[in-house]
Amino acid sequence: DEEALRLTLWWRALQPPQGDYTVFVHLVDRESEAIPVQSDAPPCGGACPTWWWAAGEVVSETVTLALAGVPAGRYRLAVGLYDQSLTRLEAVAPDGARLPDDRLFLPPEVER
């Protein structure tokens, strides 16, 4: 379906989460950094809240972004988590460096 993008995310808790977090997925325009569409929801639509997760647990979920009205172009997908105060959970690279804006950009780029 060209009018929707489905993304399956796999989350692994390195330690039990200290709170209940919301997952965000942003479709980010490669040139302007604009976000024409996004998803903000608890993991699995609320069926697997982060405060339930145990250390080492793996949770998968599929996020769907409606693309109707999104202009043609090149995009990147950014993901992350935030708490009830809208503060993003710290996102770090494999080398331990903090990621800008506490979000992870996924490869590959998306063309619409």
What average pLDDT values come out for the chain (112 residues) when binned by 10 residues?
Answer: 89 92 97 96 95 95 96 96 95 94 94 90
22 SS3 class: strand
User: Nearest 5°: CA angle at 17, between 15 and 19?
Assistant: 165
HSE of 16, CA atoms in CB hemisphere, 13 A: 4
Looking only at the bridges linking them, the beta strands covering 37-41 and 58-66 are: unpaired
Whether this prediction's pTM lies above 0.75 is answered by: yes
Amino acid identity, position 52: W
- Look at the block and give the residue holding tokens 């982060």: 50
Which pLDDT score, from 0 to 100, does residue 1 have?
56
Which pLDDT score, from 0 to 100, does residue 48 have?
94
Measured distance CA(25)–CA(16) in Å, rounded:
22
CB of 79 within 8 A of CB of 9?
yes
